[in-house]
Amino acid sequence: MSALGTRTLARTLALTGAAVALGVAASGGRGKELDEEGFRAGNADRGPAADRFFGGTTELGSIWASVAATGVVAVAGRPRAAGRALAAASVAWLAGQGLKKVFLRARPYEADPAGTRLLIVPPKATSWPSSHPAVLLAFLTVVSRDLGAGRVARATLDGLAGTVGASRTYVGVHYPADIAGGLLLGKAVAAAFDGRR
């Protein structure tokens, strides 16, 4: 294995390990209490403008949004970058769905229906990790790297994934640790695609 391959593997494993450690920490005790407090703050009513913004932003992290973005990138003349980004998004989605079956964390609206502002149709799967930020961050990281986007553009795209993550708490379907775990998972998957052009 080359030095680049070893670094890529080490980064992927470190990010995945950090995501899983976060999931374990938020599963009980003080970590769970802190996560629930963070959820209450993130899910608080901030008025109709915030409801519209976060409600309209949240589905940018769906796998279907990545499929649509893949079409745009491919039509723009970069089908290889589009395909790699969709592959990364798909791996992130599959990994997220698999981890949900391991952690089996109840959604906030299930754990505390009276204390949750649920602003969208309830998702069917369990809570940890949040797949929306994982999928979006994996897609955006790979496509921006493959397209040669600059540092500012990449940071802006990372911010978009973070905003989608925050929206998942705001609309009542994820705890903050779910979001952080999803972001770490998305970066882990993107790291696995580093150097495979």
Number of structural domains (the chain) is: 1
pLDDT in tens, the chain (197 residues): 666 578 888 999 999 999 999 999 999 999 999 999 999 999 999 999 999 999 999 999 999 999 999 999 999 999 999 999 999 999 999 999 999 999 999 999 999 999 999 999 999 899 999 999 999 999 999 999 999 999 999 999 999 999 999 999 999 999 999 999 999 999 999 999 986 54
Residue 197 is predicted with a pLDDT of: 45
Residue 3 is predicted with a pLDDT of: 61
Residue 84: other Cβ atoms inside 10 A = 21
- Domain range for 127 is 3-192
Residue 6 is predicted with a pLDDT of: 83
Buried b or exposed e, range 123-149, using 16+ CB within 10 angstroms: beebbbbbbbbbbbbbbbbbbbbbeeb
Residue 146 is predicted with a pLDDT of: 95
Residue 7 is predicted with a pLDDT of: 87
Q: What is the CATH number of the domain that holds 157?
A: 1.20.144.10
Residue 8 is predicted with a pLDDT of: 87
Buried b or exposed e, range 9-21, using 16+ CB within 10 angstroms: eebbeebbebbbe
In a domain, residue 197? The reply is: no
In a domain, residue 142? The reply is: yes
In a domain, residue 98? The reply is: yes
Angle at 5 between CA 14 and CA 77, to 5 degrees: 100
